[in-house]
Amino acid sequence: MRRLRAMIVKEIWAVLRDPRTRIVLVVPPFLQLFIFAFATTLDVRNAELAVLDRSGGRAAVELIQRIEGSPNVRRVRRLASERALAEAIDDEQAIAALVIPEGFARDVAAGRPATAGLVLDGRRSNAAQILAGYVQQIALGLGAELKPRIARAAGASEVTAWYNPALDYIWFTLPSLIAIIVSVAGLAITSQTVARERELGTFDQLMVSPLRVHEILIGKMVPPFLVGTLNGTLYMVAARVVFGVPFTGSLLLFYPALWIYMLALIGVGMLVSAASQTQQQAFLGSFLATTPLILLSGYASPIDNMPGWLQVVTYADPARYFLVIDQGLFLKAMPASVVLQQLWPLALIACVTLSAAAWLFRARME
């Protein structure tokens, strides 16, 4: 125990006193909090729209005003001609242009179905589609008020989003962020540990001491483990307190899941570290591991959208399971039985990565 204690204390000091590691500890989490929380929005806000109104009349004005009034739209430009419309889209002055044809107001007034066209900028397809959705909703809303019967006949459905009734994207992003940040920081710190000793020449010194291999490995696992727990806690609290995301599940499930996920990650980081000769290599290696870890986790794009063979690959990604648990515990009070379903593959992956790391560490000693 004395040896192990000394090793753990030394590793913690090594992390705290190394300026580079300190930066890894502090900067990426904060940077990510701000970037992910504010920049990677899935909503479309401050959109610039254009409108070519050929109809005039009450209904057309009403429609335009409602669009102008939407919180997602910053400004609606009035256009005079087809050519102006083409220019507005071309120069990206507007992401979409609404064309209200002649007779629109007349049709509405007469109770006939009226149509309006929407021209979208296909270069910004994602944002444009989302915007199209907004406009459609507004138009439907208008129609429903004017002629409730007609609108209902058109098959409008009432949508209720469970677990995230306001469909606030932050409710989705922030819980996922916990997984991402824990992964990035955990991998970065773990991957440096052995490589740093190799580069500095302290590795031999360590190996000639009576420390056993498992003591060295455990000692090296402690700091990333602590950092991961700290980061995870910090973000969980920030998500609730600062961003108001509800945490509906049990902390007694959250922490074990976080810890097992950390172990799986540390195994991956150790593998990278044991394989690297220098810190530079370790850094590149951890980058190489982080990217697929996150992309295949289902955070960036749903796993169901991936080709079949890639979906199979995602079963090996520990982040996949933790992400489900993490989001589930936040938003839908995931019960223990469901958490366990995700937890056992995670534990299996942790066993595999840790054993592989220990094996590689021993093999690379010479």
165 binds other proteins (CB under 8 A): no
Q: Tell me the closest approach of the beta carbon of residue 339 to other proteins, in angstroms.
A: 38
Per CB under 8 A, which of residues 218..237 are in contact with other proteins?
none
202 binds other proteins (CB under 8 A): yes
Mark the segment that binds other proteins (CB under 8 A) among 79-87, 128-136, 141-149, 199-207.
199-207
Adjacent-strand bridge partners of 175: none
Mark the segment that binds other proteins (CB under 8 A) among 4-12, 91-99, 303-311, 328-336.
4-12
Identify the H or E element spanning 48. Answer: strand 47-53
Number of alpha carbons in the 13 Å side-chain half-sphere of residue 279? 11
277 binds other proteins (CB under 8 A): no
Mark the segment that binds other proteins (CB under 8 A) among 29-37, 86-94, 183-191, 205-213.
205-213
Among 68, 90, 145, 204, binds other proteins (CB under 8 A): 204
End-to-end CA distance of the chain: 26
Residue with tokens 């690297």: 276
**355 secondary structure, DSSP code:** H
269 Cβ contact partners less than 8 Å away, ≥ 6 residues apart: 186, 187, 188, 189, 190, 191, 193, 224, 286, 289
241 binds other proteins (CB under 8 A): no
211 binds other proteins (CB under 8 A): yes
Which is closer to other proteins, CB of 10 or CB of 75?
10
Mark the segment that binds other proteins (CB under 8 A) among 83-91, 202-210, 239-247, 293-301.
202-210
200 binds other proteins (CB under 8 A): yes
Q: Tell me the closest approach of the beta carbon of residue 197 to other proteins, in angstroms.
A: 9
Tell me the C-alpha to C-alpha distance, in Å, between residue 360 and each of 158, 194, 225, 366: 57, 12, 20, 11
What does the alpha-carbon distance between residue 364 and residue 346 come to, in Å, rounded to a whole number? Answer: 27
Q: Where are the beta strands (DSSP E) in 63-186?
A: 73-79, 96-100, 117-120
Site residues for other proteins per CB under 8 A: 2-3, 5-7, 9-10, 13-14, 17-18, 200-202, 204-212, 365-366
